[in-house]
Structure 1
Amino acid sequence: MSESRTSAHPTHARRLLAPQAASSTLGLTAAAALAPIVWGTTYLVTTEFLPPDRPMTASVLRAVPAGLLLLLLAPGIPKRGWRLKTAFLGVLNIGLFFPMLFVAAYRLPGGTAAVVGAAQPLVIIAMSTAFGWGRTRSLQVGWAFVAVIGVALTTMSSTVRLDAIGLLAAAIGTVSMATGIVLTKRWGVPPNTSPLNSTAWQLLFGGIVIAPLIPIVDDGPWAIDAQAALGYVWLSVIGGAVAYALWFRGARSLPATNISLLGILSPLTAAALGWIALGQNMTGVQCAGFGIALLGSIAGQWPSRR
C-alpha cells in the first residue's frame, strides 16, 4: 500500500526529500567554505612565522606531510586507470598552482593577484559551457562578476604595478585550479575508494612536482625555530590535510561554479586578518568592496538549486 502511494505521488515524495537534500547541500557548502577561509591565513602565517624567501619549501612542507597524514587515515594505492588521473589532478591543484601562486605574489601587488584569482568562477563557467559539461544560469554568472568586482575594490590600492610575468603566472594558476575543480567534479573517485585517499595522493604528487624547484627558487636562510615549526604545522595539518579534504569533498559533490565562488573567501579572510592582526587600514571603498564580494560569494550558491 505504501509503495503504491509513493509511486502514485512522486511529486509528494520529492517534496519530503527536498528538505533533507537542502540540509545536506548546506552542510557541504559550509564545510567546503572553511577551506578558503583557512587558506586566507596563509599570508599572515608566512610573513609572521616562516623563514623568508622560501616559498617552494613552504609549498612542499604544506603538501607532503598533509598527504602522508591522510594516507595514514585512508591507506591504499590508486587503482589502475585512476593513477594517471590522480597524478594529473595533483599537478593541477597543487604542483602547478602553488608555484604560479608564489610567482604572482612576488611579482604583483597582492590586490592584482587576488583579482586574477577571483576570476576563477568565470573560467569554470566558460570551460564547462565550452565542453558541454554543464550550463550555468545567467543569475549565477552575474553574481560571479559581482564577486570579482568586490575583490577588486577590497584589495586594489591606489598604486598598481603590472608585471607581464606575474600576470601570466596568476592567469596560469587560476586556470590550473579551475581545471582541477572541473575535472575533480567530473571524475569523482574510484569505486570503493575513500575520498581521503585520493586527496592524499594529489597532495603527494603535487609536492613531488614542486620539490625540485626548492634549490632553484628558494634563496632565504633555512632556520626553523619553535615559531616556524608552529607555522609549518598549521599550513600542513590545518591548511593542507583538513582544508583540502573539505575542499575536494565539496568539489565532488557541489556544482563547480558554486565551489569556486567559495574561493572568494580566501582573499577576504586575508584582508580581514591584515586589518585585525597586522593593523592594515581599510578605506570605506575597501570595506564596501568586502561586503560586495561576500554578497556575490554567498548569493552565488543559491541560483543552481531547484
Structure 2
Amino acid sequence: MTRDRVWPWVACSAAGPALFGTFYTATHHLPASPVWTSVYRVVPAAVALLVWRPVLPAGPWWRRSLILGGLNFAAFFVLQAVAAHRLPGGIVAIVIACQSMLVPVLAVALLGERVRLFQVAAAALGVMGVALLVEGATTGLDWIGLVAAAGAAFSAATGFTLTKKWGLPPHVGPVTATGWQLFGGAALLVLAAFLVEGTPPGLDAAGVLAVAWVSLGATALAFSLLFTGLHKLPSAAGVSVLALTAPLVAALLGWAAGERLSGLQWVGMAVIAGAVVAGQRAQRGRASTQDVAGAAHGVTSVRGATR
C-alpha cells in the first residue's frame, strides 16, 4: 500500500483513540457506579448511530454484533471502571496498554496475519512509553483490580481482532456496523446494571453534559473512526498500536489544564509517539481488497466509509 493512501486512514484510526483520551477529563462529573456509567456512555452512542443509519443486522450479524458489543464495549468498559476504582490510574493505563501487544498474537492466530518483529517491538516500546508517562502513579496493587485491568485489555484485543476478522456485510459501512456493536453492548450493559447496581443514579447538569460528550464524541465518533481505519488498513496489529494515542492525549489535556509533567514524562510521550509511527510501517506492505476497490472508485470509497 502506498504512503499517500495509507496515512489518511492511519490518521482516521488514530483520531478514535485520541478522542478516547478526552474521556478522563469528564470522569469526575460521572456517577461512581461503573456499570451505569458504562450504560450512560454506550446507550446514547448506540441510539445516535442507529438513527444516523437506521439499518438492522441480518442473519449471523445479530450474533456477531452481540459478541463484538460484549467484548468491545460491555466487558471492556465495566472491567476498565472496576480497575480504575481499585488501582492507581498509572497501573490501569499500563496494563490496558498491553492490548497493543496482545493484538499481534491474536492477529496471527485468528487472521493469519504476518506480524513482523518490528510491530511487536513498536507495541512493547509504546507500553514502555506509557510506563514512563505515568511514573510516580504506580504504587499500590490490588489483585482484583489487576485481574480486571488484564481482562479489559484481553477483551478489547479480542473484540478488535474479531472486528477485523468478520469484516463488514455487503452494502454496510463501518459506522453502521459500529452502531450494531454498540447496540449489542448496550443491551448487555442495561441488563447487568439493573442486576448488579439496581436503579440508575441521577445526573446533574454537568453530568448530563459529560455524558453527552463521552457518549457521542468519545464513544460513537471515536469508535466509528477507529473501526473505519481498521477495516481499510491491512494490518490489525499496526492499527492496534494507535490505541496508545489515548494516554498521550489524556496527558496533554492534563498538562493544558495546569498539571505539571516531569522531564521523564515528556520522554515517555515522545516514546509513545515514536512507537505509534513505527507501528504503521507494515500498512504499506500490502493492500486490502477494500483499498484496491477504493482506488478505482476515488471519492466513492471515502463516502462509503461514512455509511
The TM-score with structure 1 as length reference comes to: 0.87
Aligned equivalent of 2:118, options 139, 142, 157: 139
TM-superposed deviation, 1:89: 0.7
The answer as to whether partners of 1:185 and 1:251 remain within 8 angstroms in 2 is yes
1:257 aligns with 2:224: no
> Deviation digits for residues 223-280 of structure 1, max 9, x if unmatched?
4332221111101111122111111111222211121111001111112222221x33
What amino acid does structure 1 have at the position aligned with 2:243? G
What amino acid does structure 1 have at the position aligned with 2:253? L
What amino acid does structure 2 have at the position aligned with 1:122? M
Aligned match of 2:25 = 44
TM-superposed deviation, 1:131: 4.3
RMSD: 2.0
C-alpha distance in structure 2 between counterparts of 1:82 and 1:131, whole Å: 18
C-alpha distance in structure 2 between counterparts of 1:236 and 1:142, whole Å: 33
TM-superposed deviation, 1:159: 5.2
1:204 aligns with 2:183: yes
TM-superposed deviation, 1:156: 3.0
Q: Structure 1: any 5+ residue segments left out of the alignment? A: 1-17
TM-superposed deviation, 1:59: 1.2
1:31 aligns with 2:12: yes
C-alpha distance in structure 2 between counterparts of 1:80 and 1:177, whole Å: 24
Aligned match of 1:22 = 3
Residues 11-160 of structure 1 mapped to structure 2, 5 A cutoff: 21-47=2-28, 49-50=29-30, 52-131=31-110, 133-157=112-136, 160=139
Aligned match of 1:10 = none
Aligned equivalent of 1:228, options 207, 211, 215: 207
Aligned equivalent of 1:272, options 245, 249, 252: 252
> Deviation digits for residues 174-228 of structure 1, max 9, x if unmatched?
1111111111111111112232221111111111211233356659993433222
In terms of mean alpha carbon deviation, does 197-206 or 267-276 score higher?
267-276
Which structure is larger by alpha-carbon Rg, 1 or 2? 1
Identity of aligned residues (%): 38
> Deviation digits for residues 56-84 of structure 1, max 9, x if unmatched?
22211211111111111211221112221
C-alpha distance in structure 2 between counterparts of 1:291 and 1:108, whole Å: 25
What amino acid does structure 2 have at the position aligned with 1:273? L
What amino acid does structure 1 have at the position aligned with 2:143? A
Distance 1:81 1:122, change over 3 A: same
Distance 1:114 1:210, change over 3 A: same
What amino acid does structure 2 have at the position aligned with 1:274? G
What amino acid does structure 2 have at the position aligned with 1:259? V
Secondary structure of the residue that 1:41 maps to in structure 2? helix
Aligned match of 1:168 = 147
The answer as to whether partners of 1:136 and 1:304 remain within 8 angstroms in 2 is no
What amino acid does structure 1 have at the position aligned with 2:262? T
C-alpha distance in structure 2 between counterparts of 1:132 and 1:224, whole Å: 43
What amino acid does structure 2 have at the position aligned with 1:196? V
Secondary structure of the residue that 1:96 maps to in structure 2? helix
Equivalent pairs counted in the alignment come to 284
The answer as to whether partners of 2:21 and 2:248 remain within 8 angstroms in 1 is yes
In terms of mean alpha carbon deviation, does 250-259 or 37-46 score higher?
250-259
Distance 1:41 1:219, change over 3 A: farther
The answer as to whether partners of 1:137 and 1:304 remain within 8 angstroms in 2 is no
The TM-score with structure 2 as length reference comes to: 0.86
